[in-house]
Structure 1
Amino acid sequence: MTSSDVQQGPLRERLQRFPQRLAELGELVRNGSSRFGQLRQALAGVSAKMLTQTLRT
């Protein structure tokens, strides 16, 4: 994998969206969503593993 692949590929797109997804997660928690299933459903596209790791930190 070259640096140009990373600059133009799907990984770059996901990395660019990551801060937005964390902000959405924070907003959901502040608004009272606290069940894992509710958060996972609201954040479609985020894996259960990633959501679990984020919530534990």
Structure 2
Amino acid sequence: MKLRGNLNALIGLWFIIAPWAIGYSDQSGALWSSIVFESFKLLYHYGAMTNLAGIHGKIGSL
């Protein structure tokens, strides 16, 4: 599960830097769509991973 979360984070980071790496940063709609949606995705996955870690820690301590 941790590997999948890290891969999702790397993919999210790629989509954030892709407009500059690929060269479509001059298209403002595509640029902001990429940045905004992938930022939300990263925050969601970070929250899910920390929530799972918290649940696992509580279950393991019972």
Question: What TM-score do you get using the length of structure 2 for normalisation?
Answer: 0.38
> Using CA pairs below 8 Å that are at least 6 residues apart, which structure has the higher relative contact order?
2
More helix by share: 2
Q: Larger C-alpha radius of gyration, 1 or 2? A: 2
